[in-house]
Amino acid sequence: MATGYGVERIDRENLPDGKVLCEYCTAKCCRYFALPIEVPDTFKELEYLRWFMLHDRASVFKEDDDWYLLVHTACKHLQEDNMCGIYDTRPEICREYTTKNCEYDEDWTYEFYLETAEQVGEYTDAVIQPKGKSIRSRKPTLLPVL
């Protein structure tokens, strides 16, 4: 099955002898980075998140109780064949990363994911009560008893 990046996909357990899983991958790990961020629990902190989302290719997700800023951008040394152009001099974080538990066959879904400034605004309105205002609807007028 083709992956859309010109790479033929195989199952991890069917990797031919002498081959490396990266040869069949679309280089998912080289197309983004995620940085842990503090849990935003004030209006000001949520405004920072909204500012992040105003920038192209940024999103925020939560995994367990940890929050992350996710930046969707490819490494500038990723080659057309999805291999590393600076493999011998790659950063230590890349050297420590292995294909043993990599995201090769992962299909991501997040329980909590924000990708627009408007979503952050809606989230802020839902979790931060504006000063002097209730997030509850006004109490309806009672109907007359007949």
* pTM (2 d.p.): 0.74
Is there a domain that residue 5 lies in? Answer: no
| pLDDT tens digits, 86-130 | 999 999 999 998 888 888 887 778 889 999 999 999 999 999 876
Is there a domain that residue 33 lies in? Answer: yes
**Cα gap 62→69, rounded to integer Å:** 9
Secondary structure element (H or E) that encloses residue 44, with its range? helix 43-53
Is there a domain that residue 141 lies in? Answer: no
Please give the tally of structural domains in the chain.
1
Is there a domain that residue 95 lies in? Answer: yes
**Cα gap 85→64, rounded to integer Å:** 34
Average pLDDT, the chain: 87
Q: What is the rounded average pLDDT of the residues 2-25?
A: 76
Is there a domain that residue 56 lies in? Answer: yes
Is there a domain that residue 137 lies in? Answer: no
Q: What is the pLDDT of residue 2?
A: 46
* Residue 89 structural domain: 12-127
Q: What is the pLDDT of residue 1?
A: 45
Q: What is the rounded average pLDDT of the residues 136-143?
A: 74
Secondary structure element (H or E) that encloses residue 62, with its range? strand 58-63
Is there a domain that residue 53 lies in? Answer: yes
Residues composing the chain: 146
Is there a domain that residue 132 lies in? Answer: no
